[in-house]
């Protein structure tokens, strides 16, 4: 019940101001956000890769309102890629981007987002890594998939995300499960209407399994983004049944969530990539993490009240 309310609040400027200013917020934000600057995130990347984990880095931000902000987002990724190059971490760290942060929702936003993301994808390729386009709310997805297709003409390793809660996703999975593709499947983190998305958790889980089956049976590289132990076990079975070796798919989890599981799956020989978000514009990302688990909200409320 609380999830949809928190997701609605994630789009409210008033709530943004309240949450950002509340004493105690930082303590909770720090659990999910790996720092505010490149300098703060670099040691976290070094630590994760030393443990045998891989990372995908997200400079947090979305819903920007000016072209200048979209350029700043592009430049923040270029700065990050420059640092990864200096540190020789290019092959262990990929990038995740939200096209809304690159200007997708502004006037002429489709072209603007493509123009902003292309140099990032190019710079990533130059250091031996790649970029995955995150999936945002359903109204943005046709544009995201079109940008993905366009980028793949020059950079075929560019990945994208599909969301199990959407009715459309099984068709998208079939289209994307082709040779050379990299597709992350997640349950989905936005507030979506019943006209386009399953609302029931059990229905979403069933769809997730059907989609993993499609991806495992296809020719692409599936990336399983979930912390759900049952779905992880099912994925392992489906991968075995499809005859996939351990390096022919990967698991992904979020920084700060089920960290023991990151290490356990990696020690079992799985490729485990930790989605590591950093930056100052953390509000939307943080609120989606609160919405996923009501206990986080209690923890948050307690930390505000005890400050
Ligand atoms: P759940 O059933 O939600 O959780 C299973 C268990 O994991 C819970 O019982 C709990 O123990 C733990 N857990 C899950 N979430 C939390 C949390 N916030 N805090 C504490 N514990 C938690 N969504 C998109 O819409 N677009 C994207 O591009 C996208 N990219 C993602 C990338 C990665 C690598 C991951 C892991 C998720 C991504 N998501 C994205 C979010 C995703 O859609 C889900 O909202 C999120 O992963 C929670 O679903 P779950 O599969 O972990 O299962």
Q: pLDDT tens, 259-305?
A: 999 999 999 999 999 999 999 989 989 989 988 987 888 777 777 76
pLDDT band at 1 (very low <50, low <70, confident <90, very high): low
Measure the CA–CA gap between 307 and 302, rounded to whole angstroms.
9
Domain around 228: 34-281
Q: Where on the phi/psi map is residue 103: left (φ > 0), alpha (ψ -120 to 50), or beta? A: left
Q: Which helix (H) or strand (E) holds 123?
A: helix 109-126
Measure the CA–CA gap between 56 and 255, rounded to whole angstroms.
10
Measure the CA–CA gap between 252 and 271, rounded to whole angstroms.
8
**Bridge partners (DSSP) listed for residue 93:** 55
Is position 9 within any domain?
Answer: no
Cβ < 6 Å from ligand 1: which residues? Answer: 134-135, 161, 163, 186-190, 225-228, 252-254, 257-258, 275, 289, 292-293, 296
* 253 Cα distance to chain centroid: 9
> What does the pLDDT look like over 164-210, one tens digit per residue?
999 999 999 999 999 899 999 999 999 999 999 999 999 999 999 99
- Interior angle at CA 266, CA 263 and CA 272, nearest 5: 95
Is position 108 within any domain?
Answer: yes
Closest ligand 1 atom, residue 98 Cα: 28
Is position 293 within any domain?
Answer: no
Q: What is the pLDDT of residue 307?
A: 60
Is position 212 within any domain?
Answer: yes
On whether ipTM exceeds 0.90, the answer is yes
Measure the CA–CA gap between 272 and 252, rounded to whole angstroms.
6
Mean pLDDT of the residues in the chain: 94
Is position 55 within any domain?
Answer: yes
**Bridge partners (DSSP) listed for residue 112:** none
Is position 247 within any domain?
Answer: yes
CA 125 – ligand 1 centroid, Å: 28
Residue from 292, 293, 295, 300 to probe ligand 1 pocket by mutation (most atoms less than 8 Å from CB): 292
Is position 101 within any domain?
Answer: yes
Closest ligand 1 atom, residue 275 Cα: 34
CA 129 – ligand 1 centroid, Å: 24
Instruction: Answer whether 32's CB lies under 8 Å from 299's CB.
Output: no
The DSSP letter of residue 80 is H
Tokens describing residue 2? 């609380």
CATH code for position 67: 3.20.20.220
Question: What's the domain count of the chain?
Answer: 1
Is position 12 within any domain?
Answer: no
Full DSSP string of 207-232: HHHHHHHHHHHSSSEEEEE---HHHH
Q: What is the pTM of this model?
A: 0.96
The answer, yes or no, to whether residue 2 has pLDDT greater than 80, is no
Mean predicted confidence (pLDDT) in 138-147: 98
Catalytic site positions: 134, 184
Tokens describing residue 161? 């995300």
């Amino acid at each position: 019940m609380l999830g949809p309310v928190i997701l609605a609040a994630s789009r409210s400027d008033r709530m943004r101001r309240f949450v950002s200013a509340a004493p105690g917020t930082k303590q909770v934000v720090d659990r999910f956000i790996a720092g505010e600057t490149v300098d703060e995130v670099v040691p976290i990347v070094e630590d994760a890769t030393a443990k045998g984990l891989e990372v995908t880095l997200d400079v947090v931000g979305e819903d920007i309102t000016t072209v200048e902000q979209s350029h700043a987002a592009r430049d923040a990724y270029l700065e990050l890629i420059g640092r990864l190059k200096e540190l020789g971490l290019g092959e262990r760290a990929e990038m995740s981007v939200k096209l809304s942060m690159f200007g997708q929702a502004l006037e002429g936003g489709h072209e603007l987002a493509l123009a902003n993301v292309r140099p990032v994808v190019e710079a990533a390729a130059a250091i031996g890594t790649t970029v995955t386009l995150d999936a945002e709310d359903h109204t943005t997805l046709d544009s995201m998939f079109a940008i993905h297709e366009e980028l793949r003409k020059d950079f075929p390793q560019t990945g994208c995300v599909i969301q199990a809660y959407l009715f459309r996703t099984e068709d998208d999975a079939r289209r994307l499960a082709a040779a050379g593709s990299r597709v992350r499947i997640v349950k989905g983190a936005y507030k979506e209407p019943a006209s386009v998305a399953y609302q029931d958790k059990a229905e979403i889980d069933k769809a997730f399994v059907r989609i993993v089956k499609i991806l495992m049976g296809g020719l692409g590289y599936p990336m399983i983004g979930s912390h759900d132990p049952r779905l992880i076990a099912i994925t392992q079975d489906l991968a075995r049944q499809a005859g996939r070796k351990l390096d022919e798919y990967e698991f992904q989890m979020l920084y700060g969530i089920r960290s023991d599981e990151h290490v356990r799956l990696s020690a079992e020989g799985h490729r485990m990539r930790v989605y590591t978000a950093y930056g100052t514009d953390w509000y939307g990302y943080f609120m989606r993490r609160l919405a996923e688990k009501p206990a986080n909200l209690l923890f948050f409320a307690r930390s505000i009240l005890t400050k």
